Amino acid sequence: MPKAHPIPRKSFISRNPSVLYFLAALGLFTAIVALLSEATGAGLISTSFVKTLGKTLCLCLIAIAMDVVWGYCGILSLGHFAFFGIGGYAIGMWLMYARTEIIVVNSLSGQIIPPTPNEISDAIGNQIFGVVGSSEFPLLWTFADNLYIQLALVLIVPGVLALIFGWLAFRSRVTGVYLSILTQAMTLALSLYLFQNDSGLRGNNGLSGLQNIPGFADSGQDAVSIVFFLASALALGFGYLLFAWITDSKLGSIIQAIREDESRARFLGYHVESYKLFVFTITAIVAGIAGALYYPQAGIINPAEIAPIASIYLAVWVAIGGRGRLYGAVIGAALVSLFSSWFTGGGAPNINLGFYEIQWVDWWLVLLGLTFVLVTLFAPNGIGGLFDKLVRKS
Amino acid sequence: MSSLLEMSGICKSFDGFQAINNLSLNIGEPELRAVIGPNGAGKTTFMDIITGKTKPDTGTILFGDENRSLIGMSESQIAMLGIGRKFQKPTVFEAQTVRENLAMALENPRGPFSVLFYKKSDQGTARLMEIAQETNLTDHLPRLAGELSHGQKQWLEIGMLLAQSPRLLLVDEPAAGMTAHEREHTTNILKKAAETRAVIVVEHDMEFVRRLNCKVTVLHEGSVLAEGSLDHVTKNQTVIDVYLGRTDVRD
Ligand SMILES: Nc1ncnc2c1ncn2[C@@H]1O[C@H](COP(=O)(O)OP(=O)(O)OP(=O)(O)O)[C@@H](O)[C@H]1O
Ligand SMILES: [Mg+2]
């Protein structure tokens, strides 16, 4: 008979203390920002910086999704920013439509003969699609007047696209570099399509004015920004819990097994493709949500945002932060994206070497590349890995 | 002893090289069978074909009471039918603990959603402890599989195989890299497993095969050269010429 060992059955939190620490840190950070912001507090943090921080939280959310799909399951997807962008476009369509509708209705209300619905619709179409020489509403905009449907599309479109793409790719057992190239091709195709003027999404103009929330014109950006900041923090908190729960479950163990040796997992009876499809799809949906929260804070979305390079950055953040640990992805995404906006936004002082001036706008990428190389060479587990070592020592 | 696996007329060539040549073989249930043969005889390929990793060019493979054909089934389907495998090179999931490795192998539903909502059960844990005991891994359960010694990895893999509760176990070179003492224990595990199921063991070590004390099949150039007791096949002149006389026999 086996020895009577007590069955180790600890609660989710005691198995994953980092979840608690993370949520506490996130809560504290959110409270401090709210207390120092212009709308709800002392006004020490400018509205534009609140937006930057809110956007950073959204990037952290897509980074943990990337960590699950790449760090845990071993699928180096170079397509998750496409899902992020789709989420942004889906909500952006409603934002643009509803706001334009309000403006158009207001401006037509002065007329003696009340405008017909057709006239209103034409005027909205003109406003939105004038830049690409059209006034017709494309098919894509069928539900743009309905917030709830567009919100549903934030989840549905990335989910269905990931499901179809993933099914085709995983079923034919495309793995490794080939899969990465395939996901990158998908991203490129989507972005090239969006660049076209007749894409129905205003070509390279993208969607703009997204920071103006229809019906809240009087509220002011300081209030809007803090609401989106809080919503982003909430989404990141829930996303973190969701992914921590998934990776802690037995499924988490299986997807790591798939990362290590997928054919071995098959011989244990696991249908590897279903697992990959599940992970690919759920992370795509979370990426869509992150995008839908990001772009109203950014104010504008255009096809360049979806270009393959964005998805590559995403992988770099996760690698620098440390794959296979969710807080690593958060650290990587937050640090790199904040440094990136500091360096490229003129925040960092240029260095004059006398014979040459290092301008960070140009040199930031070099610095980032060097950091990436150094981390890969000397800290293969990323910043999160160094963090782990410190915690274990103490 | 009823027949569990019937292979007949299996051929497989790789780029013109005939790795398996009209191979036919029957395994009963329960049965312990040793498969021996020189390097490149096709022993591993034979297991690849049964488990769906390699598709044979011709031939039939029937498994179980309903005589289901395995040809065309995926690896996971075949595994779910009750065929488990230990690889020649020990392959365990090194980044995970011994306990996690065994838990993944335990006989449980394999779909993503049932796995996501899976709750540990007392029977499951008891079974896991039993297997850990049997494979001398009880004290190593919380360790990462990557930290185990070569022999322990072999045991872990055998343990994972047992955890699957398969009807047919395919065990490729289980004693490689083990000390004499470890080998003896491995023999006992395999013999015990074969009391209730079919076990096919590929091994080069003659002493190991002798201790298994079972029917032996000699493979050579992809087909069966001789079959019978170890004493019977080792007296066979062709077997001596192609295999026993060669220097690559490790014993
Ligand atoms: N996927 C493959 N592609 C090409 N040739 C292969 C493939 N798999 C096996 N072979 C060849 O088939 C032959 C049989 O190989 P196999 O691995 O089955 O031998 P084995 O009996 O297991 O040998 P060993 O005792 O060395 O493990 C070898 O010559 C090998 O090179
Ligand atoms: Mg072999």
Written as tens digits, the pLDDT of chain A (394 aa) is: 444 455 556 788 888 888 999 999 999 999 999 999 988 878 899 999 999 999 999 999 999 999 999 999 999 999 999 999 999 999 999 999 999 999 998 888 877 888 888 888 889 999 999 888 888 889 999 999 999 999 999 999 999 999 999 999 999 999 999 999 999 999 999 999 999 988 889 999 999 999 999 988 778 898 999 999 999 999 999 999 999 999 999 999 999 999 999 999 999 999 999 999 999 999 999 999 999 999 999 999 999 999 999 999 999 999 999 999 999 999 999 999 999 888 888 787 888 888 888 888 888 889 999 999 998 898 889 998 888 888 877 6
Nearest to B204 by CA among B236, B228, B234, B174: B174
Encoded tokens for B51:
């488990």
Please judge whether A264 and B91 are an interchain contact, meaning their C-beta atoms are less than 8 angstroms apart: yes
Q: Does residue B86's CB lie within 6 angstroms of at least one atom of ligand 1?
A: no
B38 within domain boundaries? yes
Among B118, B145, B165, where does a domain finish?
Answer: B165
Give the integer Cα–Cα distance in Å for B79 and B168: 10
Closest ligand (CA of B19): 1
So what's the pLDDT on residue A8? Answer: 56
* Total tally of structural domains belonging to chain B: 2
Atom of ligand 1 nearest to the CA of B15: 4
Q: Give the predicted TM-score (pTM) of the model.
A: 0.90
Give the integer Cα–Cα distance in Å for A103 and A124: 9
pLDDT in tens, B158-182: 999 999 999 999 999 998 888 888 9
Among B149, B165, B181, where does a domain finish?
Answer: B165
B76 and B104 assigned to the same domain: no
So what's the pLDDT on residue A84? Answer: 97
Residue of chain B nearest A273, judged by CA positions? B112
Q: With beta carbons less than 8 A apart as the criterion, state whether B175 and B121 touch.
A: no
CA A259–ligand 2 middle distance (angstroms): 25
Q: Does residue B60's CB lie within 6 angstroms of at least one atom of ligand 1?
A: no
CA B36–ligand 2 middle distance (angstroms): 10
B231 within domain boundaries? yes
Among B165, B195, B211, where does a domain finish?
Answer: B165
Please judge whether B84 and A267 are an interchain contact, meaning their C-beta atoms are less than 8 angstroms apart: yes
Q: Is A172 on the interface with B (CB under 8 A)?
A: no
Smallest CA–CA distance, residue A71 to chain B, in Å, is 13
B151 within domain boundaries? yes
Q: With beta carbons less than 8 A apart as the criterion, state whether B220 and B38 touch.
A: yes
Domain residues for B123?
93-165
Nearest to A229 by CA among A51, A74, A377: A51
Q: With beta carbons less than 8 A apart as the criterion, state whether B177 and B220 touch.
A: no
So what's the pLDDT on residue B251? Answer: 47
pLDDT in tens, B82-98: 999 998 888 899 999 99
Q: For B146, list phi and psi in degrees, rounded to 5.
A: -65, -20
Contacts of A24 (CB under 8 A, 6+ apart): none
Length of chain A: 394
B64 and B178 assigned to the same domain: yes
User: Cβ of B120: how many Cβ atoms within 10 Å?
Assistant: 14
B175 and B227 assigned to the same domain: yes
Give the integer Cα–Cα distance in Å for A253 and B104: 8
B101 and B127 assigned to the same domain: yes
Smallest CA–CA distance, residue A94 to chain B, in Å, is 34
B243 and B230 assigned to the same domain: yes
- Best residue among B44, B87, B205 to mutate for probing ligand 1's pocket (most ligand atoms within 8 Å of CB) is B44
B107 and B121 assigned to the same domain: yes
Contacts of B223 (CB under 8 A, 6+ apart): B20, B21, B22, B23
Residue ID of nearest Cα to ligand 1 atom 26: B39
B172 and B250 assigned to the same domain: yes
Give the integer Cα–Cα distance in Å for A74 and A315: 12
Cα torsion through A19, A24, A28, A30, rounded to 10:
40
So what's the pLDDT on residue B156? Answer: 95
A7 contacts in B (CB within 8 Å)? 120, 122, 125
CA A271–ligand 1 middle distance (angstroms): 26
So what's the pLDDT on residue A216? Answer: 86
Residue of chain B nearest A253, judged by CA positions? B100
B27 and B138 assigned to the same domain: no
B131 and B197 assigned to the same domain: no
Nearest to A290 by CA among A258, A321, A314: A314
B158 and B171 assigned to the same domain: no
B129 and B187 assigned to the same domain: no
So what's the pLDDT on residue A164? Answer: 97
B88 within domain boundaries? no
B23 and B42 assigned to the same domain: yes
Contacts of B56 (CB under 8 A, 6+ apart): B10, B11, B12, B20, B49, B71
Nearest to B67 by CA among B46, B86, B81, B87: B81
Q: Does residue B223's CB lie within 6 angstroms of at least one atom of ligand 1?
A: no
Residue A294, sorted as left (phi over 0), alpha (psi -120 to 50) or beta, turns out to be: alpha
Among the partner-chain residues B74, B105, B116, the one whose CB lies closest to the CB of A268 is B105
Beta bridge partners of B60: B8
Smallest CA–CA distance, residue B15 to chain A, in Å, is 22
Q: What is the DSSP string of chain B?
A: -EEEEEEEEEEEEETTEEEEEEEEEEEEESEEEEEE--TTSSHHHHHHHHTTSS--SEEEEEETTTTEE-TT--HHHHHHHTEEEE-SS----TTSBHHHHHHHHSSS--SHHHHHT----HHHHHHHHHHHHHTT-GGGTTSBGGGS-HHHHHHHHHHHHHHT--SEEEEE-TTTT--HHHHHHHHHHHHHHTTTSEEEEE---HHHHHHH-SEEEEEETTEEEEEE-HHHHHH-HHHIIIIITSTT---
Q: Between B241 and A238, whose confidence is greater?
A: A238
**Cα-based distances in Å from B100 to A6, A89, A246:** 17, 42, 15
Provide the 8-state DSSP code for A45.
Answer: B
Q: Give residue A294's identity as a one-letter amino acid code.
A: Y
